[in-house]
Chains A and B, each alone.
Chain A
Amino acid sequence: MQLPVLNDAPAAKKGGCSASSCGSTDNQMDSLPDSIREKVQNHPCYSEDAHHYFARMHVAVAPACNIQCHYCNRKYDCANESRPGVVSELLTPDQAVKKTMAVAATIPQMTVLGIAGPGDPLANPERTFETFRRLSEEAPDIKLCVSTNGLALPDAVEELSKHNIDHVTITINCVDPEIGAKIYPWIYWQNKRIKGVKAAKILIEQQQKGLEMLIAKGILVKVNSVMIPGVNDQHLAEVSKVVKSKGAFLHNVMPLIAEAEHGTFYGVMGQRGPTPDELQDLQDSCSGDMNMMRHCRQCRADAVGMLGEDRGDEFTLDKIEDMEIDYQAAMEKRKVIHQAIQAEMDSKRLEKAEKAAQHKQEPKLTTRPVLMAVATSGQGVINVHFGHAKEFLIYEASPDGVRFISHRKADQYCGGDTTCGDGESTLQVTIRALAGCEAVLCSKVGYEPWEQLEKAGIQPNGEHAMEPIEEAVMAVYKEMAAAGKLDEKPETVRASA
């Protein structure tokens, strides 16, 4: 099958298993009921698979917030930053509608529009709902999402259910007010600023009530949690259990981002984020109870494009001002393209299932699991040079198969200099980001990084360029097993924990 040519679209590739969890038992969407899976399968934020094909955008229409979180600084606006809560240009609902339609016409793979800030969308009900109301009418082929801290959620459920919104994300970092008091210094509630445990208790009650009300209305709920070592890390498995029992369909545990230069409480006070090992352990421990999301890129509140990329610069206010959009025509084009992408995804999913079945037939290894890093720009193949990779996907190979674990950023959060803070080189930073991995698969590796990687106990591998990720990872795993490398514990693994 040939896909229509799109700007920046992934080229259609035949053969091999594409995205995550080939031969695995835990595809994050597998355990969902069909009705929910249908709703989320073309949502780039809900599966590692879909995000290589579909794009999303956020419009920054919601500046006000009704609470303070210790990981957020309301003063922030930096073009080099990519993290939640950061935007460059605040939009009016009218500008947001125009921008959304401009992006949808230019990037037909864009299926989802979210409002995520930079404040709390539901603390700006007029601006948020005006945007949703107009988009439901004028661009009915776009799915609408909103994320919230939950404080104003119960009052907003009725209005949310009127629009084209089938997903709501609630950030729930705790269900215990004592823990909440260490995360939320204050809330604005019933015309007062309230602090401490009392504030956290109100916030938690509102979040849980809102969650229950959304489920009762048949709206899908995803829960985001920020993992803060020493604060809520031991508590999040409990959160996962509670939100699952109430009907949330996906739990996304994200690592705390805290740097002094962000000016946040946690950044300035030296609170560290979790190591990749700690994050993975927690996600694994929750996964018995809940579908865990592992590919979140923690994007900006005004991000545009495929996950992990940002094309916001192409759609600034002055640029969209001059764009003439015929949305009816765009919708026709989008429909054709979406159907083609869906067919491509379906056929790849089928191939993947066949590969997995094949793998089950083979004699089972008894070796220990291994983490490997993969450099890819999408399409499910290894296709990026080591030195060009902005991020690596982390896979675990084990006798049960290959499963997607997470992604790790290779560059610094502030994309400015090649050195940052303590003068570490980009290469050193990247190697540190790969801690715990025993191999890195990319299309090519230069001489210098090759040596440094080996020194760090990470075997570079450029032999599987353009091959499907899962097949290559399994091939390398089998080579390692055959060479007797998996008989003993490696020195470097888990050393970072």
Chain B
Amino acid sequence: MAVKIIESCVNCFACEPVCPSNAIYEAKPHFLVDSKKCTECEGDFPVQQCASICPIEGAIVDSFGLAFNPPGSLTGIPPEKMAEAMAELQSH
């Protein structure tokens, strides 16, 4: 049981100091989780700390690959609105 940091991570360092198991480490091209150390915060906190401070939707996933913070959950931007804005910008 371990969380995973995936490629959308922007290397903001926020998660590293809040991990109770010291499982998160700086790496290239982005931070990584040592799956042997990660406990998903069980016994320490009721919620996963890295996923509670991470500002990037989708960057941290659970052992099934599901995002703790799905699109729109952190920024408040409805995903369809974001898609619309990006399509608009691409067309220029």
Chain A residues at the B interface, C-beta cutoff of 8 Å: 63-66, 68, 70, 74-75, 90, 119, 123-124, 126, 185-186, 188, 191-193, 260-261, 263-265, 267-269, 421
Contacts and interface: CB of A to CB of B under 8 A. Distances in A.
A180 to B, nearest CB: 14
Contacts of B89: 260-261
B66 interface: no
Contacts of B11: 63, 90
A265 B78 CA distance: 9
A63 B81 CA distance: 28
Nearest to B82: A268
Contact of A63 (B12, B76, B82): B12
Contacts of A185: 74-76
Contact of B53 (A63, A193, A265): A193
Majority DSSP secondary structure for residues of B touching A: loop
B27 interface: no
14 contacts: A63-B11, A63-B13, A70-B75, A119-B12, A192-B47, A260-B89, A261-B89, A265-B76, A265-B77, A268-B77, A268-B81, A268-B85, A269-B77, A421-B92
Contacts of A90: 11
Contacts of B39: none
Contact of A65 (B14, B49, B88): B14
Interface of B: 10-14, 17-18, 45, 47, 49, 52-53, 55-56, 74-77, 81-82, 85, 88-89, 92
A190 to B, nearest CB: 10
Contact of B12 (A64, A191, A264, A265): A64
B57 to A, nearest CB: 10
B52 A192 contact: yes
Contact of A191 (B10, B49, B56): B49
Contacts of B49: 191
B74 A68 contact: yes
B45 A265 contact: no
Contacts of A421: 92
Nearest to A75: B10
Given A191-B52, A193-B53, A65 B74 contact: no
Contacts of B12: 63-65, 74, 119
